[in-house]
A and B are shown apart, each in its own frame.
Chain A
């Protein structure tokens, strides 16, 4: 079964500092990987996705993630944190069952941005 592990349930950074949120995956086949963001009291919205076209994936709001097969990782980064980045971030892997693409989520990382 495919799975993802997010290291660190809470990450705190200063405004302007580098953001690094970690995600490792387990998959027996080339994976489709996603990062979603959840702002307080809202649903999830897609930040970016990896579908094997390129190992460095750029997303919205200045975020990017690099797929590293040798490390089975898909870490999310942003060079300079902004207060508006405070949210919960979920890494997910897609499992194709027939024609249905089912997502398996990590447990989430809550990002706090301080002044």
Chain B
């Protein structure tokens, strides 16, 4: 009963490096999303997807790329990391079709950019 799995749990990058945060879900959910959590700011939506091949921007998309080639996976790419991207990143998934659908969250990836 894995739910939403994020890897890695921790990562330290140098400014300018690139990396991919992985997210996978085994609930056959169409909707997947990425959030970043910063102190005093709650969670903010970075990108989301409503199905394979369909992605869209959230509130804070700059500096991040996503793609969705399968229902299960939704990786988040940082092409050139900046200190401002130091944060905790959460992936979430849910069914489509209703405002009351519950989003299920992964355990998070803690990223530090030096």
- Give the Cβ gap from A97 to chain B, nearest Cβ, in Å: 8
Q: Does A83 belong to the interface (CB within 8 Å)?
A: no
Q: Does B53 belong to the interface (CB within 8 Å)?
A: no
Q: How large is the interface on A (under 10, 10 to 19, 20 to 34, 35 or more residues)?
A: 20 to 34
Contact A9 B45 (CB under 8 A): no
* A residues 66-115 in Cβ contact with B at 8 Å: 90, 94-96, 98-108
Interface size for B (C-beta < 8 A) is 30
Nearest B-chain residue to A49, judged by Cβ:
B100
* B residues 64-96 in Cβ contact with A at 8 Å: 90, 92, 94, 96
Identify which of B42, B92, B105 contacts A108 (C-beta below 8 A). Answer: B42
Contact B48 A102 (CB under 8 A): yes
Q: Does A18 belong to the interface (CB within 8 Å)?
A: no
Q: Does A17 belong to the interface (CB within 8 Å)?
A: no
Which chain B residues lie closer than 8 Å to A49 at the CB level? 100, 102
Identify which of A32, A42, A99, A102 contacts B100 (C-beta below 8 A). Answer: A32
Q: Does B41 belong to the interface (CB within 8 Å)?
A: yes
- Give the Cβ gap from B44 to chain A, nearest Cβ, in Å: 8
Contact A43 B96 (CB under 8 A): no
Q: Does B43 belong to the interface (CB within 8 Å)?
A: yes
A11 to B44, CA, bound (A): 23
Contact A43 B107 (CB under 8 A): yes
A106 to B41, CA, bound (A): 8
Which chain A residues lie closer than 8 Å to B40 at the CB level? 9, 107-108
Which chain B residues lie closer than 8 Å to A44 at the CB level? 43, 90, 92, 105
Contact A43 B108 (CB under 8 A): yes
Contact B98 A101 (CB under 8 A): yes
Contact A102 B45 (CB under 8 A): yes
Nearest A-chain residue to B41, judged by Cβ:
A107
A96 to B101, CA, bound (A): 10
Which residues of B are in contact with A by a Cβ distance under 8 Å?
Answer: 4, 30-31, 33, 35, 40-45, 48, 50, 56, 58, 90, 92, 94, 96-103, 105-108
